[in-house]
Amino acid sequence: MRLGMLTACLPGWDLERIAAWAAGAGYEALEVAVWPATGGRDFEASHLPVADFGPEEAERTRELLDRHGLRVSALAYYENNLHPDLTRREEIRTHLRHAVDAAQALGVPYVGTFIGRDWTKPVAENLAEAERILPELVAYAGERGVKLIVENCVMEGWHPDGYPGNLAYSPELWEWMFSLGFYLNWDPSHLTWIGIDPVETIAPYADRIVHAQAKDVELDARARQRYGFFGKTAKNGDPWDMGWWRYRVPGLGQVDWARVVDRLYEHGFTGTLSVEHEDPVWGGDAARVTQGLRIAHRTLRPLMVG
Could you tell me which of 150, 108, 110 has the C-alpha nearest to residue 130? 150
> For 101-148, how does the pLDDT look when each residue is reduced to its tens digit (9 = 90+)?
999 999 999 999 999 999 999 999 999 999 999 999 999 999 999 999
Q: Residue 179 to residues 127, 173, 182: CA-CA distances in angstroms?
A: 12, 10, 7
**Predicted model pTM:** 0.96
For the chain, what is the domain count?
A: 1
CATH code for the domain of 215: 3.20.20.150
The values of phi and psi at residue 113, to 5°, are -155, -175
* Backbone angle region of 277, left / alpha / beta, with phi > 0 → left and psi within -120 to 50 → alpha: beta
Half-sphere exposure of 136 (CA within 13 A, CB side): 10
236 is in which domain, residue-wise? 2-303
> For 142-171, how does the pLDDT look when each residue is reduced to its tens digit (9 = 90+)?
999 999 999 999 999 999 999 999 999 999
